[in-house]
Amino acid sequence: MLVLILLVQLFLPKCITFSRRLLKSVHHNPGKFGIQEDKLKPFEKLLLKLESQLLDGMLFQGCVEQQFDSTNGGVSVSKNGTFAEEFAHNIRTIFSNVEVKLGEASEIDQRDRYVGLCGLFVLYFHIFRTVDKKFYKSLLDVCKKKCLFLLRDVQSFYVFVSSWMMKMESILSKEQKTEKFAEDLTNRCNVFLQGFLYACSLSNIIKTTMNLYMSMQKPMTKTSVKALCRLVELLKAIEHTFHRRSMVVADSVCHIAQHLQYQALAAIAVAKKRVISDKKYSEQRLDVLSALVLAENTLNGPSTRQRRLVVALALNVGTQMKTFKDEELLPLQLVMKKLDLISEMRERVRAQCDCCFLYWHRAVFPIYLDDVYENAVDASRLHYMFSALWSCVPAMMHARHLESYNILLKCYDKEIMEVLTEHLLDKLCKEIEKDLRLSVHTHLQLDERNPFKTGMKDLAHFFSLNSIRFFDRFIDIKAYVTHYLDKTFYNLTTVALHDWATYSEMRNLATQRYGLTMTEPHLPSQTLEQGLDVLEIMRNIHVFVSRYLYNLNNQIFVERTSNNKHLNTINIRHIANSIRTHGTGIMSTTVNFTYQFLRKKFYIFSQFMYDEHIKSRLIKDIRFFREVKDQNDQKYPFERAEKFNRGIRKLGLTPDGQSYLDQFRQLISQIGNAMGYVRMIRSGGLHCCSNAIRFVPDLEDIVNFEELVKEEGLSEETQKAARQLDFVLSDLTRNSAEGTEYFKMLVDVFAPEFRSAKNIHLRNFYSIVPPLTLNFVEHSINCKEKLNKKNKVGAAFTDDGFAMGVAYILKLLDQYREFDSLHWFQSVREKYMKEKRAVSKQQNVQSNNQDEKLLQTMNLTQKRLDIYLQEFEFLYFSLSSARIFFRADKTAAEENLEKKEKEETSKASNDTLSVNSAADSVMK
């Protein structure tokens, strides 16, 4: 052992080498170093002697090869025949005791004693220079015995240790009865010794197998690693069983030791009586009797190590001269052996169950964790393995090759935790998350999850484990996985708030299936039918207004076309949910984005109206209407609108077959969709505010919480909280009662520019509305007819964005009266009613002729006229409704006059208040 210690200290040879080099330098110039030259040679010899004796691995050889005989004529050890005979006899006796137990179930410390026996044999040879070849061969044969370690041994030990633990718990749980006290002590003694023997066997197998693999530099198979780790767990299970019942064990050990001493005293008393009864006294017999008396006196006391040693020496003398019969001697030796083991049970169990050797075999830990993960049913065995890993710590605290042993402990702790995280905790987290996701999304066509085909791991066993203590932490697997899932679900929900319901369902499933106590994230939730988020629409409003169609009456947007079998819709509830998610501040930002979008669209609108082809045609139509309006009863001619439509188509078509007027109609529809979106934002905001304030009992009478708190004399923090509550309540009350007039804002911001002299070309807009409505009706009928066709590309049932756009632009140009002067919808109605009467008249005439084909044609014509008339009626109603939003009953001049009157009224009221306050001050 001393040789190994010296060889491990690598710095010693380096220091010796450095000292020899330094000596060479000193030899060349001793005066420089202040050393006398005659002292260098003795120091150099001393250094060489130290190196040869300590660092060449020859300590034991030097010890046994030294001269034992006295050189001055004293005692001659090598020629002492009696000593040689006694030496050889003791070697053979020790060998016979060791050989029988090696490899057996009752083996305890025989392997260590075998090493000492080999040392004794070497010492015997060097002293007496003789060797018994037969005995030498027997000694080597024992050394050649191999430790055969089979997988079935693991299963056997598992059964043995498990049954022993059950027996241990059963025996120690029973109440001791007085009439069967001795029998109970015997049973307990046997159970304790059996557990200790199992620990010895397991420890020998583990150490021998691992060290042999390391010594021979052979790789260990995964199966062998798993088996050895299972044996380590069993070893620690034995130690934990003793520790768990340590109070009862300690109490029982005292009684068992006394019972064994009583048995030994009874056997010695019989032998002593036999010696006394023999009348032939001699010195040898007197020595035997004295030894027996000494053994008796020593046993009458606590079973300490010194007393047991004295008893063993006394019995070596007392058993001579056939004092004991053979049937008496063997039970006495067995009792004394039991007494040795029982008296030091705690220390011996701790020594046998010490697993500090695992520090040098840490490479098996990742494989072990992989096995635990695959076999989750036995998850509780993790406690035993970490207990074994902790066994390395006391030995590491004696490290001297670092500045502090804490550095080594920290590295060891970090390494073990990294391996545990990588091979168990992270894998467990990912698997649990995957299982929850697949369970929630079972409606999708996922991979095969049939447990009879793919197998199934019940990972819930990991979450029933108690916390594992390791260094200064408690490893709680359940808490670790719960934290991982909470963190993952929270982060992913913040990224995609519309998935909150999915993660909420996964959170509930984790609680039900695995018993995990998940944390509520308290994020603003969204509904399952969230639709597009306000932020997403705001950032892509140009895409939104072109892909969605607006319905004025239901306040709903419907997707124009989709690759799926369904169309997405957006209504007030969706907008309210988004506002609740992001806060009411998003409303103003959305209106600002809409303003930026309208600026771009109005630039295109102005360019179209400024085009010479359009402007000239509109001026011509206005002049024509002024000339013929008296003849047409102040109505704009339907034929003139049709002619404008046909004329525009002659200017050219896009690759999609659209005319310039079609594109202009789409532009106005997009502007109207933007205004519809603003209207929906306002309605959603009112909806959200009303939901938020629904718990306030009376909006007209809301108490001031700040004043109430001040009256009660509460803390500053409470007053601040009450002030904040008052602010929130007043803000919600104001928003729910009034709302913001976003339409008025968007009219006021654009109207001055539209009505300015430099944009006079826009004044012709009202005259293009009739051909626009005609174009819109044709487009709407075409879209509705596609609903009944197999190919539904371009199909639609609503598009009120056009009506909103026309109403908004007419308001910006202050042209409601100009447009109403056209009496366009009356002209359309008269035109179609006239055609319907003509068709009816023809039907009456042709009914007598019974021409079926002609009648069918007339019926189709009648139906087509009804459809056109109905579409114009729908457009008229939508336009009339949209005009209400922009106060179509008043012109710009009337609105300005009303505004001035309000300002004068408020100013007069303020002056009155100031006069009254001045009078009050004078009176005072």
pLDDT for 786 equals 87
* pLDDT of 422 over the 70 cut: yes
Residue that the structure tokens 């199992």 belong to:
198
Write out the H or E segment, with its range, that includes residue 468.
strand 468-470
CA distance 731 to 724: 11
CA distance 468 to 388: 12
Greatest C-alpha distance within the chain: 170
pLDDT for 797 equals 87
pLDDT for 262 equals 92
How far is CA 588 from its chain centroid? 38
With cut-offs at 50, 70 and 90, classify the pLDDT of residue 479. very high
In tens, the pLDDT along 606-627 reads 999 888 888 888 898 888 888 8
pLDDT for 23 equals 74
In tens, the pLDDT along 572-603 reads 888 888 888 787 788 888 889 999 999 999 99
pLDDT for 858 equals 83
Q: Answer with the residue of higher pLDDT: 233 or 91.
A: 233
SS3 state at 559: strand
Backbone φ, ψ for residue 703 (5° rounding): -70, 155
CA distance 150 to 148: 6
The DSSP secondary-structure symbol of 570 reads: E
pLDDT for 918 equals 41
With cut-offs at 50, 70 and 90, classify the pLDDT of residue 923. very low
Report the candidate in 294, 334, 297, 338 with the shortest Cα–Cα distance to residue 315.
294
CA distance 710 to 663: 65
Tokens linked to 315? 């019995």
pLDDT for 368 equals 93
Q: Over pLDDT 70: what percentage of the chain? A: 87
Report the candidate in 79, 56, 237, 62 with the shortest Cα–Cα distance to residue 161.
237
Least confident of 446-450, 470-474, 592-596: 446-450
| pTM, two decimal places | 0.57
pLDDT for 921 equals 43
Write out the H or E segment, with its range, that includes residue 726.
helix 716-737
In tens, the pLDDT along 25-46 reads 777 777 777 777 777 777 777 7
CA distance 557 to 799: 9
Nearest 10 degrees: Cα torsion 734, 737, 741, 742 = 80
Report the candidate in 739, 879, 876, 872 with the shortest Cα–Cα distance to residue 809.
879
CA distance 563 to 792: 11
Determine the angle formed by the axes of helices 660-692 and 801-813, rounding to 10 degrees.
90
* pLDDT of 482 over the 70 cut: yes
Cβ–Cβ < 8 Å for 195, 241:
yes
Q: Between the CA of residue 834 and those of 820, 829, 831, 862, 865, what are the distances in Å?
A: 22, 8, 5, 11, 10
CA distance 202 to 228: 9
CB neighbours of 163 closer than 8 A, spacing ≥ 6?
none
Half-sphere exposure of 252 (CA within 13 A, CB side): 29
Report the candidate in 80, 105, 313, 102 with the shortest Cα–Cα distance to residue 194.
105
Q: Between the CA of residue 292 and those of 248, 300, 337, what are the distances in Å?
A: 34, 13, 18
Q: Answer with the residue of higher pLDDT: 692 or 424.
A: 424
CB neighbours of 207 closer than 8 A, spacing ≥ 6?
357
In tens, the pLDDT along 405-418 reads 899 999 999 999 99
Amino acid letter at 317?
V
pLDDT for 527 equals 52
In tens, the pLDDT along 798-847 reads 899 999 999 999 999 988 888 888 889 999 999 989 888 888 888 777 66
Q: Domain limits of the chain?
A: 2-64, 260-342, 356-445+454-514, 611-885
Amino acid letter at 795?
A
The DSSP secondary-structure symbol of 634 reads: T
With cut-offs at 50, 70 and 90, classify the pLDDT of residue 893. low
Cβ–Cβ < 8 Å for 485, 429:
yes
Cβ–Cβ < 8 Å for 845, 888:
no
In tens, the pLDDT along 198-220 reads 999 898 888 888 888 888 888 88
* pLDDT of 153 over the 50 cut: yes
pLDDT for 924 equals 38
Cβ–Cβ < 8 Å for 558, 549:
yes
Q: Over pLDDT 90: what percentage of the chain? A: 27
Pairing of strands 556-559, 548-551: antiparallel
Which residues are bridge partners to 557 per DSSP?
550, 570
Write out the H or E segment, with its range, that includes residue 470.
strand 468-470
Which residues are bridge partners to 473 per DSSP?
470
pLDDT for 54 equals 63
pLDDT for 581 equals 78
Write out the H or E segment, with its range, that includes residue 816.
helix 816-820
In tens, the pLDDT along 11-22 reads 566 666 767 777
What's the count of helices (H) and strands (E) in the chain, helices before strands? Answer: 40, 5
| CB neighbour class for 918 (10 Å; exposed up to 12, middle 13-18, buried from 19) | exposed
